[in-house]
Amino acid sequence: MIAVKNLSKYHGERCLFKDVTFHINDGEVVGLCGENGTGKSTILKILCGIESSDTGEINCPKSTTFGYLPQDIDMQSDKTLYEEVSEVFKDIINLKKEAEEIEELFASGDYDADKYQKLMDRYGDLQEKIISTDAHTIDADIHDVLRGLGFLHKHWHKKVNEFSGGWQMKIYMAKLLLQRPDVLLLDEPTNHLDIDARNWLEQFLKKYPKSVVMVSHDRHFMDTVVKKIYEVFSAKLETYHGTFSKYLVEREERIDKVYIAYEKQKDEIEKMQEFIDRFRAKIDKAQLVQSRIKTLEKMEKIVLPPRRKKIKFFFPQALSCGDTVIEAHSVSKSYGDHKIIDPTTFTVSRGEKVVLLGVNGAGKTTLIKMITQSLDPTSGAIKLGHNVKVDYFAQDQALELNPTNSVLAEVSHK
């Protein structure tokens, strides 16, 4: 078990959280929730030693291993995918290599007879270690994890630095899952996963025999995997048992109870203060007055947590357009001999809500870019309907922002 006591963290004068205490039991999956900027990622980084806390302590067995998945990673490795993930088993692979070298030596007969017993003893030690570490399952484990995260066997010999950022995150995750640390710390693990990979990760974590602490805004994923929630709110930490959906309900109920208790205490304080002010000068009421003064002094005042901000927005009325919004005729896309999208024809009508599904690399983003006319099709044509205006929010939308603008200036820009 990992016990965290009185953990505090400040960024300058701003307090992220103060004196939070919690524990992580062996084998449990914990969700770490809270609004953006409350310090969830910071807690993960403190747990794995990347950052230090300002106060508090973390107690766990010295042998405890932590594995941390950040939200973003940039891998510049020129190793192949298989070589990169195999690094996890480097020590075991070296043991197998040494054992194979001794086997070859025995087979050749080219060894000093005086050293025969030492070689046999070393070979026995190696075999014992190899068996105890399940070294014979390495390739099967690598295959299962890579396939689960969406990698095909043909990708195994592709260099890591040739993969996109999203795929590199998957490679990093694959290495982490193969390491099987005592505590997995996952920061938004589903951000770069398609549905199949997300479903696979759900099952992996449900069967994971060790502890997991996870930050995620994926409600379905959290509901499936997590059974306990720690919420960072107003610099404090609250505990909720059950699913993520249950936590959302109980969270509002808890805050409502605090507000009700606050109003009740406020009325009580006002009545006692009124009594004190009214009878302060009367000698026959002095004892009662002093009693109420002492009660007020000892009373632990309820501090109201801030109500969560509710975002309200509306879309301005769009120009009236025709019944057909998008019309595609025999549209295809290829890069050289590599076909991304075979010739396809479709229409999208006014008012329709369409979801585009497919595994990573199937061409979803390519099709979207052709619809927005930021990418030309190899064949065919896509036509937008009368008065149709297209806006596009990309995976790498941050690259479209002007870093010199303030937030207000950027969102106000048209």
Question: 401: left (phi > 0), else alpha (psi -120 to 50), else beta?
Answer: beta
What is the reported pLDDT for 135? 65
SS3 208: coil
For the chain, first and last CA: distance in Å? 53
Q: Which two tokens stand for residue 230?
A: 């720690």
Q: Output the pTM of the full model.
A: 0.73
Q: Which residues of 217-254 are buried (b: 16+ CB within 10 A; e: fewer)?
A: ebeebbbbbbebbbbbbbbebbebeebbeebeebbeee
Written as one string, the DSSP assignment of 210-255 is SEEEEE---HHHHHHH-SEEEEEETTEEEEEES-HHHHHHHHHHHH
Torsion angle, CA of 343/345/351/355, rounded to 10 degrees? Answer: -30
Q: Is the sign of the CA dihedral 354, 358, 361, 363 positive or negative?
A: negative
Q: Which of 68-72, 127-131, 267-271 has the lowest mean pLDDT?
A: 127-131
Tokens 């596009």, residue located:
392
Domain ranges for the chain: 76-162, 248-298, 324-412
Residue 389, burial from CB neighbour count under 10 angstroms (0-12, 13-18, 19+): exposed
Are the CB atoms for 239 and 32 separated by under 8 Å?
Answer: no
Question: Which pLDDT tens digit goes with each residue over 367-400?
Answer: 999 999 889 999 999 999 998 988 888 877 777 7
Q: Which two tokens stand for residue 132?
A: 């105890």
Question: Which pLDDT tens digit goes with each residue over 199-218?
Answer: 999 999 999 999 999 999 89
CA–CA–CA angle 27, 221, 142 (5° rounding):
65
What is the reported pLDDT for 113? 67
Residue 303, burial from CB neighbour count under 10 angstroms (0-12, 13-18, 19+): exposed
SS3 66: strand
For 77, list phi and psi in degrees, rounded to 5.
-65, 140
- Reported confidence tier of residue 177, pLDDT bands at 50, 70, 90: very high
Residue 187: other Cβ atoms inside 10 A = 19
Residue 108 is given by DSSP the state H
What is the reported pLDDT for 348? 94
Question: Which pLDDT tens digit goes with each residue over 249-302?
Answer: 998 888 888 899 999 999 999 999 999 998 888 888 888 989 999 999 998 888
Which of these, 47, 2, 28, lies nearest to 225 by C-alpha position?
Answer: 28
The CATH number given to 324-412 is 3.40.50.300
